[in-house]
Amino acid sequence: MKDTPVRPKNKFLIFGSPAIEEAEIKEVVASMRSGWLGTGPKVAHFEEDFRAYKGARYAVAVNSCTAALHLSMLAASLKQGDEVITTAMTFCATVNAIIHAGATPVLADIDPVTMNIDPEQMEAKITSKTRAILPFHFAGRACNMDAITKIAKKYNLQVIEDCAHAIETEYRGKKAGIFGDFGCFSFYVTKNIVTGEGGMILTRNAEDAARIKTLALHGMSRDAWKRFSDEGYKHYLVTECGFKYNMMDLQAAIGIHQLKRVEQYWKRRQQIWQKYNKAFSNLPIALPAEPEPGTRHAYHLYNILIDKEKYGINRDAFLNAMTAHHIGVGVHYLSIPEHPYYQETFGWQPEDYPNAMRIGRQTVSLPLSAKLTDEDVQDVIKAVVKIGANK
């Protein structure tokens, strides 16, 4: 490489590094000193705070969004052979959860501008076996929930929202995750608020919430933390074959304080997003579309498209060049049909989902954490501009 790196090697900018502050550090230490590490009062506190933030009826915390998706699918009572339609542009966990629940995933292509599932393509995939649809709010941009809700009503389908990127997302004044029967959230380390690993399920139905809670802890009829409380020993009874998906108090200790800063972090990411938009407006790269009117974007990812024809180098060379400048970047995502497992199992081919295929081969996510300093943001900008000038 001709250039000296924008950042020194020992200051590598880690993609998606979370902002962790003193309050959560103290809370974790307090949990450790108390000896109560597992599921307990802090999880209940975090569930209640998150439920209130989203204006949902019920919230159940689990140890990942993958677990949240899996349990939602089970609570939706899907059977072997039932089809669930989702997007070709998502993380593998979305599709894997459908498979783990015993149902059959069906993909629909995306809208090339919003990168969200295209409702027309979704409707075209409906068969007599379709039981549910699983929209994913890509990068925190709200899906077209009017169209999706209409389709769900017309064909009597359950809606499970993948809100892994969409904590702050709104569509026509309503928060993402409460449109459908279930809304699934992630607090993985790169997400808008974090608990290390962690997830949450929102639902409007008390029975579904209770079943999810049971399934998240082996199918046992009582919460473990109540079993060992000072109210006296209570036997648990296994009422179905569940999983070990419960969130720990140690994780909730982080989440409680992160959630208090959700709006502050959102504003910072919006600011960075706007700085990138301004700095890159004259470069021959495609920038994210403006948020649609009447929606609130969660600004989880800032992804640019690198088209070799226009920019002179291809996406993978760009990724390497950013890394050589000691700036971490991401790819969200190679389209689902690019992966061998799905090709071999379902016969999916990338060419059958042309929008997701093209975007998956051109997309690069730039750092967008609330932790970034103005200097970090300037380094990212400098690196992108330099790579464009030196190709």
Distance CA 371, CA 360 (A): 27
Positions 40 through 69 that interact with ligand PLP (CB under 6 A):
64-66
Q: Which is nearer to ligand PLP, 135 or 388 (CB)?
A: 135
Helices 262-280 and 374-390, packing angle to 10 deg? 30
210: region left, alpha or beta (phi > 0 left; psi from -120 to 50 alpha): alpha
Q: What is the DSSP letter of 205?
A: -
The residue range among 43-51, 86-94, 229-237, 274-282 that interacts with ligand PLP, by the rule CB under 6 A, is: 86-94
Please choose, out of 51-59, 85-93, 282-290, 345-353, the segment that lies near ligand PLP by the rule CB under 6 A: 85-93
Residue from 12, 15, 53, 91 binding ligand PLP (CB under 6 A): 91
User: Which residue among 135, 140, 183, 199 contacts ligand PLP (CB under 6 A)?
Assistant: 199
Binding ligand PLP (rule: CB under 6 A), the pick from 72, 90, 121, 203 is: 90
If one asks whether residue 188 binds ligand PLP (CB under 6 A), the answer comes out as yes
Pick one of 162, 181, 208, 249: the residue that binds ligand PLP (CB under 6 A): 162
- Long-range (24+ apart) CB contacts under 8 A made by 76-83 are 76/131, 76/132, 76/158, 76/160, 76/181, 76/182, 78/102, 78/103, 78/131, 78/132, 79/103, 79/131, 81/129, 82/129, 82/130, 82/131, 82/132, 83/127, 83/129, 83/130, 83/131
At closest approach, how far in Å is the CB of 281 from ligand PLP?
Answer: 28
Question: For this structure, is 191 an active site residue?
Answer: yes
Beta bridge partners of 58: 203
* Cα 86 from Cα 103, distance rounded (Å): 12
Q: Cis ω on the peptide bond leading into residue 265 (within 30° of 0)?
A: no
Size of the site for ligand PLP (CB under 6 A): 13
Q: How far apart are CA 61 and CA 198, in angstroms?
A: 8
Q: How far apart are CA 250 and CA 25, in angstroms?
A: 10
Q: Which of 13, 93, 252, 322 binds ligand PLP (CB under 6 A)?
A: 93
Token look-up 């050589």 returns 324
| CA–CA separation, 224 and 195 (whole Å) | 21
Does the protein bind ligand PLP through residue 335 (CB under 6 A)?
no
In the complex, least distance from residue 167 CB atom to ligand PLP, rounded to whole angstroms: 12
**Selected range binding ligand PLP among 41-49, 87-95, 211-219, 378-386, rule: CB under 6 A:** 87-95
Least Å distance, CB 218 to ligand PLP, is 19
* List 54, 175, 191, 386, catalytic entry: 191
- Shortest Cβ distance from residue 102 to ligand PLP (Å)? 19
| Distance, CA of 76 to CA of 208 (rounded, Å) | 8
Asked if 89 touches ligand PLP (CB under 6 A), the answer is: no
Report the interface residues with ligand PLP, using CB under 6 A. Answer: 64-66, 90-91, 93-94, 136, 162, 164, 186, 188, 199
- Positions annotated as catalytic residues are 191
